[in-house]
Amino acid sequence: MIELAKPALDVGLFTNRREAMLAFWQTVVGLPFSELLPLGGGLQQHRHAIGQSVFKLNHARAPLVDAPPSGIRTLLIADPACTAPALLEDPDGNRVRRVPPGFDGVDQLRIDLVVSDLAAHRAYYGDVLGLPVLDGNTFACGVSQIRLTEGAATRDPVQQAQGYRYLTVQVFDVRATHAGILARGGREGRPPVRLGDVAHISFVRDPDGNWLEISQRKSITGSLD
């Protein structure tokens, strides 16, 4: 149901610890730096590549609010240099597991998402977003994956707080995609807006309130019309 302009998910986190976090993700995890984007309001986005995905390390100059975690609890990143799974924590306590390509079916990136109700979230990711089902609890978004686990989930997590806070999909038409998700029972996070000549974006939320950014980026689609 979602026509992807890029066959991969992006992941965004927020931090106040720029230098320590950049050192960890670039040196320990080994993600190559792509570019720095000023977001305004004292935010800078340090973009890194995970294959076709973008890891967005958003540094906030002002102290972030103290808030419970989102449902995004662990990233699994396939790394050809990795010979055995290794679970790591960054300086803020975010969990990331480096795995050999193909481990547990992960060829590039998997997001492990803790949810309060498996049935409701299966319906959302499968029927509302229209992501293909790989198994009962795992969904494909291009070469990326989302795996659902039922557990102690946060309801309506704050978006701009420390930790993993949102996922992003790139599409060809933000307005149509956003409207379609709402028509199928999705929940609005923020309506579509235009960011200059760079992108259109909007946000929708799953049954627990986890944030998904819908992005139409001109550098990918070639147009913002």
Q: What is the pLDDT of residues 58-113, one digit of tens each?
A: 999 999 998 999 999 999 999 999 999 999 999 999 999 999 999 999 999 999 99
10 Å Cβ neighbour count for 82? 16
Percent of the chain exceeding pLDDT 90 equals 90
- 133: Cα separation from own chain's centroid: 18
Q: Can you tell me the distance from the alpha carbon of 48 to that of 33, in angstroms, rounded to the nearest whole number? A: 4
CA terminus-to-terminus distance, the chain: 20
Model confidence band, residue 1 (pLDDT cutoffs 50, 70, 90):
confident
**pTM beyond 0.85, yes or no:** yes
Q: Residue 78 in contact with residue 31, Cβ under 8 Å?
A: no
Q: Could you tell me if residue 51 is left (phi over 0), alpha (psi between -120 and 50 degrees) or otherwise beta? A: left
Q: What is the pLDDT of residue 198?
A: 86
